[in-house]
Each structure stands twice: as C-alpha cells, then as structure tokens.
Amino acid sequence: MSPKETAENTLKRFVFSNHLAERELDRIEAENDIDLNRDHRRLAAEEDYYPQIEQSIRAEAATMAPHYEVFYSLERTIRGLIVDTLKAAEGEAWWASGRVLPAIRSSAEALQQAEIDKAVTPRSDHPIDYTTFGELSQLMTSNWDLFDQTFSSKKAVERVMASLNTLRGPIAHCSPLAEDEIVRLRLSVRDWYRLQE
C-alpha cells in the first residue's frame, strides 16, 4: 500500500471514528435528556415535519437514525473504493471493461432505465449506484487481483460484507435494530476497516 493510500485510510478511519463519537454524544443527550449545545440537534428539533406522526414512531426513528447514517456513510465509502480501484486499473470506461459481471451490469442498467421511464430524478449518473450491496461484494471478489493489495483476505471480505448485508436489511426497511444487532453493526464496521490495515 502506498503512503498516499495509507494516509487516505487513516483519514477515513479518523472521520468515521469522529462520526461515531458524534452519534454516541447524540445517544447520551437523548438518554439523559440533556442538551450539550451542539447546534445540529437544535436545528433538527426546530423543523417539525409531519406532526401527525406518533411520537413513539418519531422516537424510534431518532434511535435508528445514527445506524442509518453510519451505514449510508460506509456504503458510499465502499462504492467509492470500488470505483477508484476499477478506474485506476481500466480507466474511465471501467464499467464496460469486462471487470463488471454481465448480470450486475444489466441489472444496474435496467434499474437506471426504469427511473428514466418513470420520469423521476435519477438517483445518480453512475451505474454503480444502482447495484445492490451484495453486488458490491461480488465486484470486489470477482476482481480480487485488484483488491488483494487493499484487503488482507478475500474470505474475510466476503464474511464481513455478508454480515453487513444482513444488518442492512432492518436499517433499509425501517425496522428497529435489536441491541445485539447494534453491537454486531459496530463490530462489523470495525472489521471492515481492520481488513484494510
């Protein structure tokens, strides 16, 4: 791993750790009903969207929001890593280079076309943003010759990605995470970054 890649990974871990610390402060404030005068919480409270929604559901949503934010950030980071790695190897046309399995490419392109056909604002101009989380794992393992310098073990990447994919379900489908699964999420995120050391 080059010094630049090592510095980037260190910076990513720092930003992610800082984000986790902020979420933990949010939890402490909520559990203890205290305000540490952190502006982002006050601004969110001032915006009262849809007052018809029950307070218990809002409270549950507030409890789940940090987990969504962590997963969103992690998934965007993983997508970026894949794009950067494949682009470095194949250039700007990496998506059509043969590095992307045909089933993944056609599935993503079909979803992209479906959004166009529905006349909604496309979520992205990049086809990778139309892949599933499971397909992200396939993109890395099917191109292991490019990712073996970033990660310590292909089997470990598959295991951690499978664990993260399982945890993604309740987060993405608006179900609360059990306390054990919150711990598992934290450990899986740590495992992901440990694979890159």
Cβ atoms within 10 Å of 188's Cβ, excluding its own: 21
Amino acid 43: pLDDT: 47
Question: 93: part of which helix (H) or strand (E)?
Answer: none
| Band of residue 182 on the pLDDT scale cut at 50, 70, 90 | very high
Question: What is the rounded CA–CA span in Å between residue 12 and residue 38?
Answer: 23
Domain assignment of residue 85, given as a range: 60-194
Chain-centroid distance of CA 36 in Å reads 28
Q: Evaluate whether residue 66 is within a structural domain.
A: yes
pLDDT band at 22 (very low <50, low <70, confident <90, very high): confident
How many whole angstroms separate alpha carbon 153 and alpha carbon 155? 5
Which tens digit of pLDDT belongs to each residue from 25-39? 888 877 887 767 665
The one-letter amino acid at 90? E
Domain-embedded: residue 35: no
3-class DSSP state for residue 195? coil
- Residue 97, phi then psi, degrees to nearest 5: -80, -10
Q: Is residue 16 situated within a structural domain?
A: no
Q: Is residue 104 part of a domain?
A: yes
For the stretch 136-163, pLDDT in tens is: 999 999 999 999 999 999 999 999 999 9
* pLDDT (tens digit per residue) in 94-135: 999 999 999 999 999 999 999 999 999 999 999 999 999 999
Residue 32 domain flag = no
Q: How many domains does the chain have?
A: 1
For residue 51, is it within any domain?
Answer: no
Structural domain includes residue 36: no
pTM of the predicted structure, to 2 decimals = 0.75
Maximum CA extent, the chain? 54
Q: How far apart are CA 7 and CA 31, in angstroms?
A: 36
Average pLDDT over residues 151-176: 95
